[in-house]
């Protein structure tokens, strides 16, 4: 699977540098408490787009219900809900630092597959052996024992997987590489992990979760922006770029490895460009003045319609600006007497616009699905297949 890293390229270096700058800018947009709450929303969105790439369309409302333990009676929809819940649970563990380190290790890659597959319905763990036509069960965390074909690509034989993964881990986990090289390595390793195709099924989701984890490990990724959204919105280009990088070397001017150097460069450019685009998009959504303006317009409309009590905006704005506030501040913020202020506060909590771990804890903004389109427009907008 050589080359593992593309040749030095000014374009790739510029994209990696831009990614570092954009990640720093995005991190400074929001109060840390608010970032924590938004992480839940973005994880659901990342799951939605990652599964969509696999052809599994689970509506955001159904994902939201699955997180609340409300599963459909219909087996097909229920299975998709379980799959979405599994994806979100694994990413949540990654974001909480509960996954093995480093992300490039075989242990981590097998852990992601195991954690994800253990929660899947049995139907999603059955694959067909292309040689025999027999059904084979996917064992969570276990490397595949069958030959497979992915489009035109014939992934390595099962007996070669362990050695290839060892090489993968040593090359991409090399901490002697400069940071820019390691960031470019995220893109290159995304392709190479899919090329190895270590598991009988689930490789796409595992690889995208791996990329999220590695970006986070390098200080670039966070729970505030999703890798999968950019890939899903250009899924045809994503697939084409992957297939192009699968190809063998195209002559003496195409590197010195077994696989095409130019194809790998093109994939890395596509992947890093998608990451930069997603950061730019999320940063625009989180721009404080614009976010406050969208929320205020929405709140005024809801208040005029009688769906929110007067005084609501004062509390929502305080949570937006300060991250969280003590419940006892509600009278001073609204200008109401304690009983009336408490009614406004409780209404916002009941509707999920403010949340709190206990009945006495400070409150922070909540992000129920009902307001996502208004507070964060185009978050779930994608190509025709995603709508």
Q: Using 50, 70 and 90 to split pLDDT, how confident is the model at 156?
A: very high
Give the span between the Cα atoms of 223 and 88, in whole angstroms.
11
Indicate whether 306 pLDDT > 60: yes
- Helix 32-53 × helix 235-245 angle, to 10°: 70
CA-based torsion, 281, 286, 289, 292: positive or negative: positive
Rg of the Cα atoms in the chain: 23
For residue 307 the two structure tokens come to: 């769906």
pLDDT value at 383 more than 70: no
Write the pLDDT tens digit of every residue in 211-222: 999 999 999 988
What average pLDDT score do residues 133-152 get? 92
How far apart are the C-alpha atoms of 42 and 292, rounded to whole Å? 19
Rounded Cα–Cα distance for residues 335 and 340 (Å): 10
CB 238 within 8 A of CB 162: no
Q: Say if residue 387's pLDDT is above 80.
A: no
Q: Is the pLDDT of residue 190 over 90?
A: yes
Instruction: Please say whether the beta carbons of 136 and 200 come within 8 A.
Output: yes
Structural domains in the chain plus CATH codes: 29-285 (1.10.3290.10), 288-375 (1.10.10.10)
Query: SS3 for 339?
Result: helix
Looking at residue 255, its pLDDT comes to 80
pLDDT at 32: 85
pLDDT single digits (tens) 94-122: 999 999 999 999 999 999 999 999 999 99
Which is more confident, 222 or 228? 228
H or E element that contains 333: helix 330-334
Backbone angles phi, psi at 104, to 5 degrees: -80, -5
Do residues 241 and 149 touch, judged by C-beta distance below 8 A? no
Which class for 175: exposed (0-12), middle (13-18), buried (19 or more C-beta within 10 A)?
exposed
């Amino acid at each position: 699977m050589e080359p593992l890293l593309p040749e030095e390229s000014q374009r790739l270096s510029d994209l990696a540098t831009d990614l570092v700058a954009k990640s720093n800018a995005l991190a400074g947009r929001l109060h840390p408490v608010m970032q924590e709450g938004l992480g839940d929303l973005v994880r659901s969105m990342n799951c939605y787009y990652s599964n969509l790439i696999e052809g599994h369309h689970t509506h955001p409302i159904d994902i939201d219900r699955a997180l609340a333990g409300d599963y459909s009676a219909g087996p097909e929809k229920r299975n998709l809900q379980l799959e979405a819940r599994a994806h979100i649970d694994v990413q949540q563990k990654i974001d909480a630092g509960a996954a093995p380190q480093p992300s490039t290790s075989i242990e981590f890659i097998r852990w992601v597959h195991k954690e994800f597959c253990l929660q899947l319905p049995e139907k999603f763990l059955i694959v067909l052996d292309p040689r025999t036509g027999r059904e084979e069960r996917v064992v969570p965390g276990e490397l595949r024992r069958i030959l497979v074909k992915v489009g035109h690509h014939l992934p390595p034989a099962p007996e070669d997987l362990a050695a290839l993964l060892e090489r993968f881990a040593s090359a991409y986990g090399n901490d002697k590489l400069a940071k820019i090289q390691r960031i470019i390595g995220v893109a290159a390793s995304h392709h190479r992990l899919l090329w190895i195709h270590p598991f009988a099924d689930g490789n796409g989701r595992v690889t995208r979760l791996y990329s999220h984890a590695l970006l986070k490990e390098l200080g670039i990724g966070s729970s505030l922006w999703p890798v999968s959204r950019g890939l899903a919105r250009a899924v045809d280009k994503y697939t084409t770029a992957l297939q192009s990088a699968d190809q063998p070397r195209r002559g003496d001017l195409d590197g010195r490895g077994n696989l095409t150097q130019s194809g790998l460069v093109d994939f890395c450019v596509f992947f890093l460009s998608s990451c930069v685009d997603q950061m730019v998009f999320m940063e625009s959504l989180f721009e404080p003045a614009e976010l406050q303006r969208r929320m205020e317009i929405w709140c005024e409309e809801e208040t005029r319609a009688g769906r929110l009590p007067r005084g609501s905006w004062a509390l929502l704005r305080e949570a937006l600006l300060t991250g969280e506030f003590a419940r006892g501040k509600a009278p001073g913020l609204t200008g109401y007497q304690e009983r009336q202020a408490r009614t406004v506060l409780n209404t916002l909590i009941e509707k999920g616009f403010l949340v709190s771990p206990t009945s006495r804890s400070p409150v922070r903004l909540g992000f129920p699905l009902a307001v996502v389109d208004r507070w964060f427009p185009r978050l779930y907008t994608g190509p025709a297949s995603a709508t």
